Structure 1
Amino acid sequence: MIEASFAGLLKTLAYIVLFYYLFKFLLRIFAPILMQKAMSKVQQKMEDQMSQHQNKQQSTTQNTFQSKVNPKEKKKVGEYIDYEEVD
């Protein structure tokens, strides 16, 4: 059976502390770069959505304008008769 030694414990704690500070250091270097890329992706997505919305709005405006120029005939169903109650 393997026994735990005090030197092994200290060595493990040193590795944990070393990896923690190394991770913090690398995070400070790469976090701004990752955030910048994420923000540019979000900005690009929003610009795409805005252009799609504007194109849709322009096509709707053109269709509305064309329908006002060429109005469709309405079907005549019949006359409207207003009935009054007789007491």
Structure 2
Amino acid sequence: MQYASAVGLVRTILIILLIYFGIKILSRLFTPFFLKFVAKKAEERFGGQFSQFQQQKKQNPKKEGEVTIDKMPKPKSSNKKVGEYVDFEEID
């Protein structure tokens, strides 16, 4: 049977603290680069979508005031199985 020693306990605590502070320092160093990378990718994606929209707009020039309907809305049917409406009054 093995027993824990004070030296082993202190050594383990120091290793855990070293790893914790190491990760904390490295995250502060690399976070700006990571955020810059993410912002650049988002800008490219949104810029691509905007350029596609601009190209579609140039391909389909419309006169000012012209209205187009792509799809007719479906008429909504009422549900006849709801039952009848009963008016009520609150009693104090």
TM-score tier, shorter chain, comes to 0.5 to 0.7
How far apart, CA to CA, are the structure 2 residues paired with 1:4 and 1:52?
66
**Residue 54 of structure 1 pairs with residue 92 of structure 2:** no
How far apart, CA to CA, are the structure 1 residues paired with 2:2 and 2:57?
74
Q: Which has the larger radius of gyration?
A: 1
- Percent identity over the alignment is 30
State the partner residue of 2:16.
16
Segments of 4+ in structure 1 off by > 2 A?
none
Describe the superposition over 1:2-52 as per-residue Cα deviations: whole angstroms up to 9, x where unpaired: 322121111111001011111111111111011101101101111100000
5+ long unaligned stretches in structure 1: 66-87
Out of 2-11 and 38-47, give the one that drifted further.
Answer: 2-11
- Structure with more helix by fraction: 1
Q: CA RMSD in A?
A: 1.3
5+ long unaligned stretches in structure 2: 64-92
How far apart, CA to CA, are the structure 1 residues paired with 2:50 and 2:2?
65
How far apart, CA to CA, are the structure 2 residues paired with 1:25 and 1:56?
48
Q: TM-score, with normalisation over the residues of structure 2?
A: 0.63
| 2:37 counterpart letter in structure 1 | K
Alignment size in residue pairs: 63
